[in-house]
């Protein structure tokens, strides 16, 4: 049975061409949605850009026919604008002049007129979905770009057993996948084939105390090349950090994209910055011109234009965590580090003034191309799939893009663990030969004994 989908404005802001993704069903755009798009179209923010793109999509449809009557899609569906049902009654505590409630009136009208077809409101607004339920209107989120639940998402690592006779072959010629396996709960050996560039914890099956770390290069399992490295004096403290170091130290020509997921305290940002400094200052061959860091933030990116000062002054509060990491890396002596605050700050200011390190708001990064740049996107879980696609596809020659974040810590009200840009990129890039990924476990938190204790208790 065909369905009637009523589209909220936030769906078009999230994915401007979403109306084309409902197969052979009927898509209804309430007139109030056009009014909201009109109000957003002149904005220079992300919402404005997406609103203009959505309007252009509607214009293409308008050129094909009458949107009030309905325009047929290639999939056999219909897209039309609905301007009726203004007389539908709502409960007295739902004011009729509120945009969301005008959409609910359209849903009620469609339900009444087309009772033999199911009407579904599609919105990313949770409160609107609750209000719809109060009126017996079926409501759901936009799921086209939704990926699997976090516990099922790609982690970039795997633990396997290796046949004893082939365990020593890792360093000499690599280990073929036919010699590795996992043991099922039924006690039966199950052969496994890793994903491209997946990291592996290798255990000898006759002596599980023998452990090696490796990576699947698409043909065989090879040893880590940078296991003994100490980027800017930093040494890995756990398995996850060894894998993280390998991904970050690998040149952009081989691994231009690195995706790192993990909770706070797992040293994601600290390690990324440390490797960046190592590559810029200490590498025999200078791989990158500079380190560029950005941290998307739903509320901040929208309000940056109204803040006083230069761009750097505007975004300095957002970049404070980056400065904290630089303070620890620039002066590794923990006891002497803060004895002369002015001297420490002067060293960090010099990095920025020389252009070695730069910070930018996400709004100013979009649309640019980056060459020979070590680009760190911190808190990438606050990006939309469209934003993260825009960043990755703008990477130029010699640029390494590092996406860092925790999918459980999302500030964007229209994103969750299954729709944020970090998780989206992780799932879609897991088979890419140009992408290294690693998810750091809670047990690999290195912030402090208190932080680790809180993780286990809370």
Q: Considering 200, 223, 246, which residue would you say is the last residue of a domain?
A: 223
Residues 260 and 335 in one domain: yes
Residues 269 and 199 in one domain: no
Which CATH number belongs to the domain containing residue 10 in this structure? 3.40.50.1010
Residues 412 and 267 in one domain: yes
Q: How much is the mean pLDDT over the chain? A: 89
Q: Considering 115, 140, 165, which residue would you say is the last residue of a domain?
A: 140
The mean pLDDT value for 154-174 works out to 94
Res 312: pLDDT: 56
Q: pTM of the predicted model, to two decimals?
A: 0.81
DSSP symbol at 300: H
DSSP symbol at 322: H
Domain-located, residue 424: yes
Which CATH number belongs to the domain containing residue 428 in this structure? 3.40.50.300
Residues 79 and 190 in one domain: no
C-alpha distances (whole Å) from 402 to each of 271, 289, 363, 405, 451 are 11, 16, 18, 10, 25
Domain-located, residue 89: yes
Domain-located, residue 228: no
Residues 282 and 383 in one domain: yes
Domain-located, residue 90: yes
Strand, helix or coil for residue 260: strand
Q: How far apart are CA 305 and CA 289, in angstroms?
A: 28
The more confident residue out of 241 and 324 is 241
Residues 352 and 388 in one domain: yes
Q: What percent of the chain clears pLDDT 90, i.e. is strictly above it?
A: 64
Domain-located, residue 233: no
Res 309: pLDDT: 52
Q: What is the pLDDT of residues 192-211, one digit of tens each?
A: 999 999 999 999 998 878 99
Res 116: pLDDT: 84
Whether pLDDT at 334 is above 60: no
Q: How many helices (H) and strands (E) does the chain have?
A: 16, 19
Whether pLDDT at 302 is above 70: no
Residues 217 and 244 in one domain: no
With residues binned 3-state (H G I as helix, E B as strand, rest as coil), the percentages for the chain, rounded to 5, are: 40, 20, 40
The more confident residue out of 317 and 82 is 82
Is residue 247 within 8 A of residue 429, CB to CB? The reply is no
Residues 133 and 202 in one domain: no
Candidates 88, 115, 94, 98; CA nearest to 35 is 98
Is residue 238 within 8 A of residue 197, CB to CB? The reply is no
- Work out the angle at residue 394's Cα, subtended by the Cα atoms of residues 391 and 399, and round it to the nearest 5 degrees: 95
Res 299: pLDDT: 47
User: Could you tell me the residue range of the domain that residue 350 belongs to?
Assistant: 238-457
Residues 180 and 249 in one domain: no
The mean pLDDT value for 65-86 works out to 94
What token pair was written down for 41? 């179209």
Candidates 255, 296, 193; CA nearest to 429 is 255
Q: Considering 140, 166, 200, which residue would you say is the last residue of a domain?
A: 140
| Count of domains for the chain | 3
Q: What percent of the chain clears pLDDT 70, i.e. is strictly above it?
A: 91
DSSP β-ladder status, 373-377 and 357-359: unpaired
Per-residue pLDDT band at 405 (split at 50, 70, 90): very high
Whether pLDDT at 393 is above 60: yes
Domain-located, residue 186: yes
Domain-located, residue 231: no
Residues 379 and 431 in one domain: yes
Residues 421 and 319 in one domain: yes
What token pair was written down for 425? 């990129």
The more confident residue out of 315 and 306 is 315
**Lowest mean pLDDT across 99-103, 253-257, 300-304:** 300-304
Q: What is the pLDDT of residues 210-241, one digit of tens each?
A: 999 999 999 999 999 999 999 999 999 999 99
The more confident residue out of 315 and 39 is 39
Domain-located, residue 254: yes
Token pair 């599980």 is found at 208
Residues 453 and 318 in one domain: yes
């Amino acid at each position: 049975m065909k369905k009637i989908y009523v589209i909220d404005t936030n769906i078009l802001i999230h994915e401007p061409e979403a109306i084309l993704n409902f197969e052979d069903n009927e898509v209804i755009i309430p007139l109030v949605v056009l009014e909201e798009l009109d109000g957003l179209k002149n904005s220079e923010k992300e919402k404005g850009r997406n609103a203009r793109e959505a309007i252009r999509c509607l214009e293409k449809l308008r050129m094909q026919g009458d949107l009030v009557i309905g325009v047929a899609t290639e999939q056999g569906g219909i897209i039309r604008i609905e301007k009726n049902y203004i007389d539908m009654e709502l409960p007295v505590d739902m004011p009729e002049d509120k945009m969301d409630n005008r959409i609910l009136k359209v849903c009620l009208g469609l339900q009444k007129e087309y009772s033999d077809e199911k009407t579904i409101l599609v919105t990313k607004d949770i409160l609107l979905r609750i209000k719809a339920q109060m009126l017996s209107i079926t409501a759901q989120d936009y799921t086209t770009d939704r990926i699997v639940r976090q516990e099922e998402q790609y982690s970039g690592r795997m633990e396997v057993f290796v046949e004893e006779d082939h365990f020593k072959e890792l360093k000499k010629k690599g280990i073929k996948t036919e010699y590795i396996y996992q043991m099922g709960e039924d006690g039966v050996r199950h052969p496994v084939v890793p994903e491209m560039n997946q990291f592996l914890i290798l255990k000898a099956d006759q002596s599980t105390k023998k452990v090696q770390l490796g990576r699947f290069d698409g043909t065989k399992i090879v040893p880590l090349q940078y296991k003994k490295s100490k980027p800017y004096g930093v040494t890995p403290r756990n398995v996850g950090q060894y894998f993280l170091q390998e991904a970050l130290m690998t040149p952009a020509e081989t691994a231009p994209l690195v995706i790192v997921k993990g909770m706070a305290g797992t040293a994601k940002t600290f390690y990324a910055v440390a490797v960046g400094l190592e590559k810029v200052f200490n590498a025999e061959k200078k791989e990158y011109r500079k380190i560029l860091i950005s941290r998307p933030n739903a509320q901040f990116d929208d309000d940056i234009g109204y803040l006083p000062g230069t761009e750097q002054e505007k975004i300095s509060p957002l970049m404070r965590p980056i400065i904290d990491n630089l303070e620890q890396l620039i002066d590794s002596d923990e006891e002497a580090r803060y004895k002369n605050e002015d001297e420490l700050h002067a060293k960090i200011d010099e990095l920025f003034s020389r252009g070695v390190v730069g910070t930018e708001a996400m709004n100013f990064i979009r649309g640019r191309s980056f060459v020979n740049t070590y680009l760190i996107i911190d808190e990438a879980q606050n990006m939309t799939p469209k934003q993260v696609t825009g960043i990755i596809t703008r990477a130029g020659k010699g640029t390494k893009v590092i996406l860092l974040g925790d999918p459980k810590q999302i500030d964007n009200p229209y994103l969750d663990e299954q729709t944020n840009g970090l998780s989206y990129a992780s799932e879609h890039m897991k088979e890419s030969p140009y992408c290294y990924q690693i998810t750091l476990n809670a047990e690999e938190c290195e912030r402090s004994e208190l932080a680790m204790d809180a993780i286990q208790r809370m």
